[in-house]
Amino acid sequence: MRKDFLWGGATAANQCEGGWKEGGRGMAIVDVIPHGADRMPVMKGVQDYRKLPENASYPGREAIDMYSHYKEDIALFAEMGFQCYRFSFSWSRIFPTGEEAEPNEAGLQFYDDLVNELLKYQIEPVVTLCHFDAPIALVEKYGSWKNRKMIGFFLKYCDAVIRHFKGRIRYWITFNEINMLMHLPFMGAGIRLEEGGDELQIKYQAAHHELAASAMAVKLAHEINRDAQVGCMLAAGSVYPYSCNPVDVWESMKKDRENYFFTDVQVRGKYPAYAVKYMEQQGIQIAMQDADLEIMEKNTVDFVALSYYNSRCVRTDGQGEASGGNVFASAKNPYLECSQWGWPIDPLGLRITLNALYDRYQKPLFVVENGLGAVDVLEADGTVHDDYRIDYLRSHIRAMMAAADEDGVDLIGYTPWGCIDLISATTGEMSKRYGFIYVDKNDNGEGTLKRLRKKSFHWYRDVIASNGQNLSLE
Ligand code: BGP
């Protein structure tokens, strides 16, 4: 691996920060996404969050309270030798309703302290500007990303933070898993489909607003700071054809394009021909301003960030089972084992995905999420023997290194997801744990929030220290 490869970990404000009412923070999307059976319908935007039962619980409001524990958490990251840390700013901590003229000082102060703490340990901050997040006031007043006004609110927020952190933050990511807008539109972009309207039209219009906002944010960041490196971020995972039947192959290509659609615009700077045709066929008409396309073309990203949990698979014969637990519909791949949540485990798929993305874009790639959500058992002596997690990460790191060292893919870094246990995005559970650091809290929200080092904590420290050479614990 290259010598300046960045090893670290990743989290996001919506799933770890908590402190939902601290320091003048405004309500955000995550604060109204409940735990339990209503969670999925709310995230999909088909159930109105304002009509949930009174006893609904909202795990993101406290999460793991990193708001109060960040010093302790960063000290543990430093102990593992993190060279970078990917996290997100909570937009409504900076602009509580999104409409204020000036940023909320207490919100900026919180991130000042957090970023300074990282820099104290020479940990490079990698900041996602929008990770499943937006002030709820903008959702209610304007319909969130359905509305073009959102671009202006987002840019005002970007301007405030990019300017404020100039010289301290170099790596920015505009939207986390931008393609999630198509699958979980409320969680991804604050879009409520229950309000009615043509679903495809709404989604593609909102996608245009986000894509335009992303390009404008790239422009802004480069104007403020010539050294800024700005990336897009895709929920990646190549789609395999179930068989060599050309209809399966064709279907897999179409499925891949549903995701590439976003990065094709962000990296190549224009709507791809297949998307233009698709929109024509579906009668989708995107309202845009004259300058949008030019701004998109001139302000492409510096790098492509991606999450990778698994590959996907499609078959067209209507047979077989579906693979469980994922928001991306997929046929069950008989060659792969699955996690406890039914997500396929496919390390070679990471190598395949990285090569596919690098072939397509020829831009540096950054693996900003990867990991295994699993149930952990806390032993009486405070340890967790998470060998399954080590196995998962080891095999994926090997595959990633092969992509870099043997295939020549240009890789910036690796930040496994949920480096400290946090709330699961899709299920709202605490028990779906990804971390090297155990957090004492259960699915009912009970626990001391105490942080404990798992076996993988010590393993990952050695991985980082050896730049990926030492992948066994002994
Ligand atoms: C990605 C998100 C993360 C994270 C991860 C794991 O989609 O960017 O926010 O949560 O998936 O998913 P889950 O938490 O559902 O296990």
pLDDT for the residue numbered 325: 59
pLDDT digits (tens, 9 = 90+) for 18-56: 999 999 999 999 999 999 999 999 999 999 999 999 999
Confidence band for 370, pLDDT divided at 50, 70 and 90? very high
Q: What residue type is 185 in one-letter code?
A: P
* Weakest mean pLDDT among 321-325, 363-367, 406-410, 444-448: 321-325
433 CB near ligand 1 (under 6 Å): no
133 CB near ligand 1 (under 6 Å): no
Mean predicted confidence (pLDDT) in 381-407: 97
175 CB near ligand 1 (under 6 Å): no
pLDDT for the residue numbered 201: 97
Question: Which ligand 1 atom minimizes the distance to the CA of 14?
Answer: 9
60 CB near ligand 1 (under 6 Å): no
Q: Is 321 a catalytic residue?
A: no
Catalytic residue, candidates 124, 369, 429, 446: 369
pLDDT for the residue numbered 320: 84
Nearest protein Cα to ligand 1, atom 15: 426
307 CB near ligand 1 (under 6 Å): yes
Cα of 185 vs centre of ligand 1, distance in Å, is: 15
pLDDT digits (tens, 9 = 90+) for 227-258: 999 999 999 999 999 999 999 999 999 999 99
pLDDT digits (tens, 9 = 90+) for 311-346: 999 999 988 888 865 677 789 999 999 999 999 999
Task: Kindly tell me if the per-residue pLDDT of 364 is higher than 80.
Answer: yes
pLDDT for the residue numbered 218: 98
87 CB near ligand 1 (under 6 Å): no
* pLDDT, the chain, mean: 96
Cα of 418 vs centre of ligand 1, distance in Å, is: 8
128 CB near ligand 1 (under 6 Å): no
Task: Kindly tell me if the per-residue pLDDT of 474 is higher than 70.
Answer: no
pLDDT digits (tens, 9 = 90+) for 348-359: 999 999 999 999
Cα of 145 vs centre of ligand 1, distance in Å, is: 21
Cα of 204 vs centre of ligand 1, distance in Å, is: 23
pLDDT for the residue numbered 326: 62
pLDDT for the residue numbered 200: 97
pLDDT for the residue numbered 28: 98
pLDDT for the residue numbered 472: 85
Question: Which ligand 1 atom minimizes the distance to the CA of 422?
Answer: 14
10 CB near ligand 1 (under 6 Å): no
Cα of 151 vs centre of ligand 1, distance in Å, is: 25
314 CB near ligand 1 (under 6 Å): no
Best probe residue, ligand 1, of 180, 307, 432 (max atoms within 8 Å of C-beta): 307
pLDDT for the residue numbered 98: 98
pLDDT digits (tens, 9 = 90+) for 142-198: 999 999 999 999 999 999 999 999 999 999 999 999 999 999 999 999 999 988 999
pLDDT for the residue numbered 253: 97
**How far apart, in whole angstroms, are the C-alpha atoms of residue 220 and residue 222?**
5
Best probe residue, ligand 1, of 426, 429, 433 (max atoms within 8 Å of C-beta): 426
Cα of 426 vs centre of ligand 1, distance in Å, is: 7
376 CB near ligand 1 (under 6 Å): no
Positive or negative: CA dihedral 242, 244, 246, 252: positive
177 CB near ligand 1 (under 6 Å): yes
pLDDT for the residue numbered 327: 75
Catalytic residue, candidates 17, 117, 177, 210: 177
Cα of 417 vs centre of ligand 1, distance in Å, is: 8
Question: Which ligand 1 atom minimizes the distance to the CA of 177?
Answer: 8
Q: Is 210 a catalytic residue?
A: no
369 CB near ligand 1 (under 6 Å): yes
pLDDT for the residue numbered 195: 87
Confidence band for 457, pLDDT divided at 50, 70 and 90? very high
Question: Which ligand 1 atom minimizes the distance to the CA of 432?
Answer: 16
424 CB near ligand 1 (under 6 Å): yes
Best probe residue, ligand 1, of 234, 369, 432 (max atoms within 8 Å of C-beta): 369
Cα of 424 vs centre of ligand 1, distance in Å, is: 6
Nearest protein Cα to ligand 1, atom 4: 425
Q: Which residues, including other chains, have CB under 8 Å from residue 465's CB and lie 6 or more apart?
A: 81
pLDDT for the residue numbered 321: 83
